[in-house]
A and B are shown apart, each in its own frame.
Chain A
Amino acid sequence: AQSVTQPDIHITVSEGASLELRCNYSYGATPYLFWYVQSPGQGLQLLLKYFSGDTLVQGIKGFEAEFKRSQSSFNLRKPSVHWSDAAEYFCAVGALYNAGNMLTFGGGTRLMVKP
């Protein structure tokens, strides 16, 4: 069974500092990986996705993530955090076009940004 672990429940960074959110997955085949962001009281918004090809993927709002198969990781990064980035971030693994396999989400990392 697939699983996703986000080791950090809470992270606080200063505005303008760099950010890295960790995600580790367990999956029996080539994974499809996603990062979603959820602002307070809102649904989930897709930040970026990895299907295949270049292991460094660019997303919206200046975020990027790197797929490292050897480490089973898909960490999210941003070089300079803005106060508006404060939200909860979810990593997910899934298989596309396979009716028997759906998205499995990690527990989320809540990001707080200090002025």
Chain B
Amino acid sequence: ETGVTQTPRHLVMGMTNKKSLKCEQHLGHNAMYWYKQSAKKPLELMFVYNFKEQTENNSVPSRFSPECPNSSHLFLHLHTLQPEDSALYLCASSQDTGGLQYFGPGTRLTVL
């Protein structure tokens, strides 16, 4: 599946670093999502964007900052993360909010 791509695939960062995750969808969709997948926990929806506007923020700490410059690109800016933020971060897109979601391969993040 190459409809939704994510870079980098793996990222190791210290707690004082600033990094960004990138997601790009080639499906012509209008909605994009960030999910967090931690070990032994269900997938957690973090943010939803529809037509570049944020429509959902599931009480995510401010050290995670999303950006959606256009309907095809979604970023997750990270700063002063904690070790418990280590997880697989999945991006998804859908035609419109609540529609069938197509997932990217994820970024495996490790915070030291």
Contacts and interface: CB of A to CB of B under 8 A. Distances in A.
Contacts of B106: 41-43
Contact of A44 (B50, B90, B97): B90
A102 B98 contact: yes
Nearest to B48: A102
Contacts of A36: 103
Q: Tell me if A's interface is mostly helix, strand, loop or mixed.
A: loop
A67 interface: no
Contact of A49 (B50, B98, B100, B108): B100
Interface residues of B, number: 27
A41 B48 CA distance: 23
Interface of B: 1, 4, 6, 33, 40-43, 45, 48, 50, 55-56, 90, 92, 96-106, 108
A113 to B, nearest CB: 22
A94 B33 CA distance: 14
Contacts of A107: 40-42
B100 to A, nearest CB: 7
A98 B98 contact: yes
Q: How large is the interface on A (under 10, 10 to 19, 20 to 34, 35 or more residues)?
A: 20 to 34
A45 interface: yes
Q: Which 10 A-B pairs have the closest CB atoms?
A: A43-B103, A44-B103, A105-B43, A43-B105, A99-B97, A107-B42, A105-B42, A96-B98, A43-B104, A43-B106
Nearest to B101: A103
Contacts of A90: 43
Scoring B33, B97, B99 by chain A CB atoms within 10 A of each residue's CB, the highest score goes to: B97
